Structure 1
C-alpha cells in the first residue's frame, strides 16, 4: 500500500500531485476552499484495501520493532530532512486544499512543525526504569511496542496532527495505518509520500477514503491502538467501536477554551498574543481561545485593543503572500460560524467588527469578527465556533469568571492574562483544563505533554509521556 516515489520529484507541487493523485476520471475531486478551483483527485480506498494495509503493517512491524531506538530515531531524522527538502511543495498543497495561507502561523509553519516534531520524538530518551533493586530481587519497567496503530486525523491541521500521531508511534516500534480526513486527504497523502522516501516499506501507509473507511479502521481486529483527533461525538463512537477488541486509545477531542483577563493586565501589551491565541488558523484549532472573559475595569480598552490588532491582519487566498488569515475549510463549518454570529446579534450582542460576510465572493470566507456585550449563555459562548469569531464577555467578580470558564463539559486548554504572575498562577490552578497557559494561549511544545480533561480527550500526547502512550508497559522481575 505504500506509494512508489523513487522516480518522482517530491519537492514540487507537480511532483507531489503526480505521486498521490487518482487517475483522471477516478477518485473524489478536492476543491480549493478559497477559490473553488480544483486542487486534485483524491483516491478512494475500500475495506479490502484496509485489510491489505493492516496485514502489511503487521508483517512490517516485526522487523521495525527489532530495530533499536537509535536506528528508528535516525530514520525519523532522515524523514525530517525529507520534509524540509519538500517544504515549499508541501506547504502549497496544504494551502490549496485546506485554505490556510502560506504565511503567519499557517501552512509553512505547519510543515516546519512536522519536521520539528519528528526530530523531537527522535531525541527523547526513554530508558528502562529500575523499580526494585535490593536483597529481595530486581524489577525493571520497560516500554515495548503496541503493534499496529490506527490513526485518524482532522482537516484543520492535517499534516501536523498526522505527525503528532505518526512520529511517536514509529519511534516506539509500531507501524501505522493512517486515514486522513475526507476534507484534506491530498495534504496527508503528500506528506506520506515524502516520509515513505525514507521509511521502510509497510511501516507507514496512508489510505484516503470516506468516513466508513475510518469506522472500519476503528473496528479492525488487526489494529492494536487508535489515535484520533476530532470531535467529541466521533471520539465517543470510536470508544464504543474499540470496546470489543479492547484497543488502546488516545483521543484529542473538541474544546471551547476560556481565557480570563485579570484586572491588572495591560490590554495593549497582550492584545496581539490574545488575537493569535484565538485566530490562529483562522480560528480552526481545537485549543484556540474561543471565549474571553475580561474584567469590567479593562473591558472597553481590551475590546478596542483587539479591534486594532484584527484590523491589520489581511484575509484572503492562501497562496497570496500578504495574507495571514484564510477561508473556513468547508461549507458546513462556514454555516456553523455564521449561525452562531447571528444568534449573538439576535441576542443583543454588539458586533465590534466583522459579522457581515460578502455574499458574492468565491470561497468560504467569513470576516474576522469580534463580539462584545454578550451573555455567557449565548450559543456563541457555550458552543465551539471553530472559526474567526471571538466573543468577549464582561465580568465583575473573579469567582464568577472562574465558574463560567469551568462551566462547560469540555476542558482542552485555558489561559490567564495578567502582570502579577503569582495571582495568575493561583487562578490557573483552579481552571479545569488539560493545559492552562499564562499570558499566552495554545503554545504547544513537543517536549510538553498535551491532552484534555472532561469531554476534551483521553490520554496524553507529546514528550516522553506521549511515547509511553503508544507503547505497552512490561515489567521483568527476578
Structure 2
C-alpha cells in the first residue's frame, strides 16, 4: 500500500474555482443576505451514469484493502478536512446560512473530521457463531459494492460524512447526490476528501430530482442511504424496489420531549433550548414539541424564554451570532404558516412569531408558543425551524400518549431530577433514541435510527458498519 501523507491547504477562491463549472451553472445565494455565493454545476443523468461506472470499476481494488488500510485513508481524509476547516466553514455558513460559531458551521466541519476518525477506529472482527464438535461457523461482513448517498440541506457536510465514512470503511465506493439547496458545501467537502483518497472511490454528482431518482433506481447501486423527509423517503423506497437495493433511511422526526414534575426549570432551560433550536431548529432529531407537567409549566416556559432572548440571530459570518436564517424560502413559509395557524387558534405567543417584512434573508425569529393543543398543526406537523410549541399535561400517561400519537419516532427526551423515573418513562416512548436530560446528542459510537415512519436501518458505530456490509456465514 502506497499512501501519500501530504495534506493540502486550499484557499477559499481556489476551492470555489475547483468546484464551479467553467461556464454557466446554477446560482447559489446566501440565505442570510441574498448575495451570490457561487455557481453549482448542473450534472445530468449521463454524468451520474459515468460516476457510477467509475466507482464500480474502482471498487474491487478498494474492497481488496484491509480494514486497517482503509482506516488509514479515512484518517488522512480527516487530516485534509482539518487543514481546510476554516475555508469549509466559511463556505458552509454562506451557503447554508448557519453561523460560524455555536453548534453551527465550525462545529459541523469539526464533526466531519471527528466522525471520520471515529469510524476508522471501530473494530469489526468476524463473529464466531458455533465452535464445537459439530463444526465451526463464522459471520463476516463483505463489501456490498457501490453505495448511493442522497443528503439533506440542513447539515450537508456532516451528514455526508455520516454516509460516506462507514461506506468507505466497509470497502464500498460511494456516489453522492447533495441537496439542490446546498450543493457547493458537499462538492467542496468531497474535493478536499479526494486529496487524500484514491481516485474514483468517492464521487459527487450535483443535479436535480431526476438525478436523485436515477440514483435510487440504478441497477449498479447496491445500497442507498437517504436523509430527508418521510415523503421523499417513500418515493425512494418505490424507486429502489425493482433492483431490491439495501436501503437505510433517516427520515422526519418531530421529536417529543417530556418534562417531569420534579425537573428544575432553571437547570434544564439551556439544554432544552439547544435541543430545540440547534441549527435554528433545522435538525431532524431536534426537540420539536415539548410536554411540560402543569405543576412547573409556567416556570419552564419563563426559564426557556429567558434563555431564548439571549441568543443572537443574524448573518452567519458575524462572529457574535449563534442562530441564523432558515435555509430557503419554502422552509420559511412552512414555519410562518404553522406559527400563524397556532396564533389563529388562540395559542399564546410567549416570544417571537412576528418576522420582519422587507428585510433580506429568510430570518424567522426565535418563537415559543404556549397553551397549545396537541392536534394543532404546529405540534402535529414537523416545523423544522425556530418555533417550539409547549404543551401542558396533567399525568404521565397523558404525556406519553401524546408523545406517541404521531407516526414519527426518530428521537425523544425525558427531563427529570430522578434518573429512575426518567428511565421508566423513556422505556414507554416509541422512538429510536431517547435521551435523558438532553436532546439530539448523537455520538459516532452509538447506533442511530428511526422508529415508525422516521425510517429504518441503523447508522453509526459497529452496528452502522454492519448495515453497510453483506453478511456472509462461512460454515465448516
Question: Taking structure 1 as the reference length, what is the TM-score of the superposition?
Answer: 0.98
CA distance in 2, matches of 1:360, 1:132: 69
Gaps of 5+ in 1: 1-6
Q: Contact 1:411 / 1:454 at 8 angstroms: preserved in 2?
A: yes
Cα displacement string for residues 399-424 of structure 1 (whole angstroms, at most 9, x for unaligned residues): 11100000000100000000010000
Q: Determine the structure 2 residue equivalent to 1:4.
A: none
Q: Contact 2:408 / 2:451 at 8 angstroms: preserved in 1?
A: yes
Q: Contact 1:292 / 1:390 at 8 angstroms: preserved in 2?
A: yes
CA distance in 2, matches of 1:354, 1:132: 61
CA distance in 2, matches of 1:49, 1:22: 14
Q: Determine the structure 1 residue equivalent to 2:11.
A: 12
Q: Determine the structure 2 residue equivalent to 1:337.
A: 335
Cα displacement string for residues 76-134 of structure 1 (whole angstroms, at most 9, x for unaligned residues): 00000000000000000000000000000000000000000000000000001111111
Q: Determine the structure 1 residue equivalent to 2:47.
A: 49
Per-residue deviation at 1:179? 0.3
Per-residue deviation at 1:327? 0.1
1:218 aligns with 2:216: yes
Q: Determine the structure 2 residue equivalent to 1:473.
A: 471
Cα displacement string for residues 126-148 of structure 1 (whole angstroms, at most 9, x for unaligned residues): 00111111111111110000000
Q: Contact 1:411 / 1:433 at 8 angstroms: preserved in 2?
A: yes
Q: Contact 1:8 / 1:19 at 8 angstroms: preserved in 2?
A: no
Per-residue deviation at 1:23? 2.2
Q: Contact 1:146 / 1:225 at 8 angstroms: preserved in 2?
A: yes
Secondary structure class of the residue paired with 1:332: helix
Per-residue deviation at 1:14? 1.1
Cα displacement string for residues 268-291 of structure 1 (whole angstroms, at most 9, x for unaligned residues): 000000000000000000000000
Q: How many residues end up aligned between the 2 structures?
A: 471
Question: Taking structure 2 as the reference length, what is the TM-score of the superposition?
Answer: 0.98
The alignment's C-alpha RMSD in Å is 1.0
Secondary structure class of the residue paired with 2:308: helix
Gaps of 5+ in 2: 1-5
- Equivalent of 1:143, from 138, 141, 144? 141
CA distance in 1, matches of 2:446, 2:221: 27
Per-residue deviation at 1:30? 0.2
Per-residue deviation at 1:10? 4.8
Q: Determine the structure 2 residue equivalent to 1:125.
A: 123
1:389 aligns with 2:394: no
CA distance in 2, matches of 1:239, 1:210: 18
Q: Determine the structure 2 residue equivalent to 1:281.
A: 279
Q: Which runs of 4+ in 1 moved over 6 A?
A: none
Q: Contact 1:278 / 1:288 at 8 angstroms: preserved in 2?
A: yes
Q: Contact 2:99 / 2:317 at 8 angstroms: preserved in 1?
A: yes
Q: Contact 1:196 / 1:204 at 8 angstroms: preserved in 2?
A: yes
Q: Does the C-alpha gap of structure 1 residues 400 and 303 become closer, same or farther in structure 2, counting only changes over 3 Å?
A: same
Cα displacement string for residues 310-359 of structure 1 (whole angstroms, at most 9, x for unaligned residues): 01100000000000000000000000000000000000000001000010
Q: Contact 2:227 / 2:249 at 8 angstroms: preserved in 1?
A: yes
Per-residue deviation at 1:22? 1.6
Q: Contact 2:77 / 2:116 at 8 angstroms: preserved in 1?
A: yes
